[in-house]
């Protein structure tokens, strides 16, 4: 019986019930209970396809359960619990309902067994999540949310167009492995790429995540991009082009993150970088690589949420997340600082932390399949991650200089959420077999080999040395009150200015052309008026003799014409 109830419906039902509960602890408790029930539901579901429904002649598979969908659904329920616990103090119905609908839509999409069901949940995540941005209720947040919504809804439009073409070509809407051999599959691939923040399609991520509410950013970081990773793993595993797309994704955000002043934007660039590792794993497509992608997505949701929560707590207490305005906060926010350092260690793949046991799967799979250049790129990107997230985030927020700020420690519920995320990040690093048991394929892998541990420690230590030297010599980019331009400048500034310029030129040409023809028309009207107006010659009284003469002339002309013809 339980398998006939899609897990997503638990969240949707809770969103409805929420309106019947007054604001307060009871409503906040409901937001915590639902993810726990959902996690138990996911854990007890048997493998198979359930909850099939007929929809306009199509059979929709609302609940396809296998190892790949289960591991993503489990981490999504954990992320929903942590996000709602972190947001315990929030008394905003908009954010509470949006959080439930967003998490439910993401989980529903993970369990979707067909492309039409996937589309409905895909658009559900877009519509629900935008309210976490608009909830700041500022003009900037509204504009950012509109840009975000256009991109996300556009991704869904491209997806349904691809689905229609695939159905016309194959007669099937099954969500299964595809190859890039038709326009339909390319459109679906592009749709997934938008949500996965492929290069040049990534700007919505940095733009929106740093503009959301303190708690909204934590929730946003968990679902949309990892849903896209799941979709790529389900639909395009082994697609070689993903190897190179992912390699580029690991590289370019490093340079933006290093010079960025807003620490939430730094984390957004870091998120983009970590997605690149997962995309490479999908492109490699072996069982080891796909296990690495799933494991890294699982670990990444936890430590990225932890980092966003720690910086969010700083923003909540100080009112700013600018590196140039922070520093010295370890004095009054020591627990937040410790949790931030744990998150930094996890994302940097320190031994005994989650990133070490998940990222190594992807690196090993890349080397095993002979992608040595890509392996070297990933190694370089790992050093870059340590620079901008492992060191820069905690250093500039808590240690760099004394900003003079003496805020209170983060609220208890925020510390509790950060503590859970930190504990899980450490537990996965210390006992990786528990995570490996959840992965899609049975692959024997031992992360803690002497070679791997020493290599990773050397990489991290030399990266730390380089950071120290660059900072001491003044070469490392300082935290400045500035705005860094990314490729979104093209559609936020350049294209609007070009359109305005073209509009001005066209308007001017239209005005010149209109004035030219208006003068000609007025001149013609003036001449006609001169001849046919009340004072014109045609309006004058003509003598009878003149009339007879003209009639005689016209009659003569008519006779001549008839004679000649």
Residue 186 lies in a domain: no
Residue 454 lies in a domain: yes
Q: Are residues 295 and 442 in the same domain?
A: yes
**Residue 123: which pLDDT band, with cuts at 50, 70 and 90?**
very high
Q: Is the pLDDT of residue 305 over 90?
A: yes
What does the pLDDT read at residue 537? 61
Provide the domain count of the chain. Answer: 3
Give 54-109 as a DSSP string: EETTEEEEEEEE-HHHHHHHHHHHHHHHHHHHHTTT---HHHHHHHHHHHHHHHHH
Domain boundary among 233, 257, 285: 233
Q: Are residues 411 and 349 in the same domain?
A: yes
**Residue 558: which pLDDT band, with cuts at 50, 70 and 90?**
confident
User: Rounded mean pLDDT of 470-498?
Assistant: 74
For residue 126, give its domain range: 1-150+195-233
Residue 532 lies in a domain: no
**Residue 523: which pLDDT band, with cuts at 50, 70 and 90?**
confident
Q: Are residues 446 and 310 in the same domain?
A: yes
Q: Are residues 136 and 245 in the same domain?
A: no
What does the pLDDT read at residue 542? 58
Q: Are residues 221 and 260 in the same domain?
A: no
- Calpha distance 467→480 (Å, rounded): 18
Q: Is the pLDDT of residue 428 over 80?
A: yes
What does the pLDDT read at residue 478? 67
Q: Are residues 220 and 305 in the same domain?
A: no
Task: Flag the least confident range among 121-130, 202-211, 293-302, 531-540.
Answer: 531-540
Q: Are residues 316 and 383 in the same domain?
A: yes
Residue 183 lies in a domain: no
Q: Are residues 392 and 512 in the same domain?
A: no
Q: Are residues 245 and 324 in the same domain?
A: yes
For 314-337, write each residue's pLDDT tens digit: 999 999 988 888 888 999 999 999
Residue 564 lies in a domain: no
What does the pLDDT read at residue 480? 63
Local structure of 353: helix, strand or coil = coil
> Which residue, among 253, 251, 239, has the nearest Cα to 202 in the 3D structure?
253
Do residues 192 and 231 make contact, with C-beta atoms less than 8 angstroms apart?
yes
**Residue 390: which pLDDT band, with cuts at 50, 70 and 90?**
confident
Higher pLDDT, 513 or 474: 513
Output phi, psi for 179, to 5 deg. Answer: -120, 150
Residue 373 lies in a domain: yes
Residue 227 lies in a domain: yes
Q: Are residues 222 and 280 in the same domain?
A: no
What does the pLDDT read at residue 1? 63
For 69-89, write each residue's pLDDT tens digit: 999 999 999 999 999 999 999
User: Rounded mean pLDDT of 484-492?
Assistant: 73
- Calpha distance 500→504 (Å, rounded): 6
Q: Are residues 329 and 441 in the same domain?
A: yes
pTM comes to 0.87
Q: What rounded mean pLDDT belongs to the chain?
A: 89
What does the pLDDT read at residue 535? 64
Higher pLDDT, 368 or 470: 368
Q: Are residues 283 and 225 in the same domain?
A: no
């Amino acid at each position: 019986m339980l398998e006939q109830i899609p897990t997503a419906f638990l969240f949707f039902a809770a969103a409805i019930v929420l309106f019947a509960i007054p604001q307060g602890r009871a409503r906040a408790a409901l937001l915590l209970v639902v993810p726990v029930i959902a996690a138990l539901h996911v854990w007890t579901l048997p493998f198979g396809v359930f909850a099939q429904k007929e929809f306009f002649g199509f059979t929709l598979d609302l609940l396809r359960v296998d190892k790949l969908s289960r591991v993503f659904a489990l981490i999504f329920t954990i992320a929903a619990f942590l996000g709602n616990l972190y947001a315990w103090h929030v008394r905003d119905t908009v954010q509470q309902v949006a959080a439930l609908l967003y998490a439910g839509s993401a989980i529903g999409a993970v369990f979707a067994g067909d492309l039409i069901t996937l589309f409905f949940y895909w658009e559900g995540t877009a519509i629900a999540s935008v309210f976490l941005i608009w909830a700041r209720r500022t003009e900037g947040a509204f504009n950012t949310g509109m840009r975000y919504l256009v991109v996300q809804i556009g991704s869904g439009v491209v997806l349904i167009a691809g689905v229609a073409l695939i159905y016309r070509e194959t007669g099937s809407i099954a969500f299964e492995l595809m190859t890039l051999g038709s326009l339909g599959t390319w459109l679906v691939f592009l749709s997934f790429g938008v949500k996965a923040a492929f290069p040049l399609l990534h700007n919505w991520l940095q733009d929106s995540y740093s503009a959301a509410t303190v708690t909204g950013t934590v929730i946003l970081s968990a679902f949309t991009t990892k849903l896209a990773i799941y979709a790529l793993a389900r639909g395009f595993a082994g697609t070689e082009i993903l190897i190179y797309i992912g390699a580029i994704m690991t590289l370019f955000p490093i340079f933006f993150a290093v010079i960025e002043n807003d620490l939430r934007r730094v984390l957004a660039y870091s998120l983009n970088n970590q997605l690149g590792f997962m995309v490479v794993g999908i492109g490699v497509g072996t069982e080891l690589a796909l296990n690495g992608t799933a494991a890294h997505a699982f670990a990444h949701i936890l430590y990225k949420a932890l980092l966003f929560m720690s910086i969010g707590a700083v923003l909540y207490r100080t009112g700013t997340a600018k590196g140039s305005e922070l520093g010295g906060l370890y004095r009054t926010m020591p627990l937040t600082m410790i949790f931030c350092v744990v998150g930094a260690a996890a994302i940097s793949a320190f031994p005994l932390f989650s990133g070490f046991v998940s990222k190594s799967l992807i690196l090993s799979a890349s080397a095993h399949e002979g992608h040595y250049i890509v392996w070297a790129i990933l190694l370089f990107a790992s050093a870059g991650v340590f620079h901008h997230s492992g060191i820069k985030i905690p250093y500039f927020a808590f240690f760099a200089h004394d900003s003079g700020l003496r805020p209170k420690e983060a609220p208890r519920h925020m510390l509790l959420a950060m503590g859970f995320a930190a504990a899980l990040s450490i537990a996965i690093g210390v006992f990786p077999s528990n995570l490996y048991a959840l992965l899609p394929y049975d692959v024997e892998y031992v992360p803690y080999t002497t070679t791997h541990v020493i290599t990773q420690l050397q990489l991290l230590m030399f990266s730390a040395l380089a950071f120290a030297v660059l900072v001491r010599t003044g070469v490392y980019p300082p935290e400045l009150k500035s705005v860094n331009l990314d490729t979104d400048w093209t559609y936020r500034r350049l294209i609007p200015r070009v359109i305005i310029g073209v509009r001005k030129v066209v308007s001017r040409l239209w005005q010149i052309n209109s004035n030219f023809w208006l003068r000609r028309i007025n001149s013609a009207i003036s001449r006609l008026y001169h001849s046919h107006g009340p004072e014109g010659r045609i309006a004058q009284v003509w003598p009878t003799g003149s009339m007879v003469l003209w009639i005689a002339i016209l009659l003569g002309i008519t006779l001549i014409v008839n004679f000649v013809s």
